[in-house]
């Protein structure tokens, strides 16, 4: 079965474009490959991670989120022993 693909455009400021070019050169990957992997990873994350990555929280909300994530990580660590 053939995978369906979509081509999308992104808009970057000059600095972000330069950094993406450097990343692609460093990793030996095309821009499409880098962006495809990033988007693929991002959409699989839960709402908390997506919100944190998108930086759409205020400073107090970010602090509260960080504390919550640390508690979750600590809880998982205890459960895995």
Q: pLDDT for 10-38, tens place per residue?
A: 999 999 999 999 999 999 999 999 999 99
25 vs 70: CA distance, rounded Å: 34
Task: Say if residue 42's pLDDT is above 80.
Answer: yes
Predicted pLDDT at 24: 97
Beta-carbon contacts of residue 10 (< 8 Å; ≥ 6 apart): 35
Beta-carbon contacts of residue 35 (< 8 Å; ≥ 6 apart): 10
Q: Give the range among 38-42, 43-47, 54-58 with minimum mean pLDDT.
A: 54-58
């Amino acid at each position: 079965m053939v995978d369906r693909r979509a081509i999308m455009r992104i808009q970057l400021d000059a600095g972000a474009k330069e950094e993406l070019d450097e990343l692609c050169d460093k990793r030996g990957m095309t821009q499409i490959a880098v962006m495809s992997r990033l988007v693929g990873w991002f959409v699989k994350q839960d709402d908390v991670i997506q919100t944190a990555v998108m930086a759409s929280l205020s400073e107090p909300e970010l602090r509260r989120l960080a504390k919550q994530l640390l508690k979750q990580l600590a809880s998982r660590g205890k459960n895995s022993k």
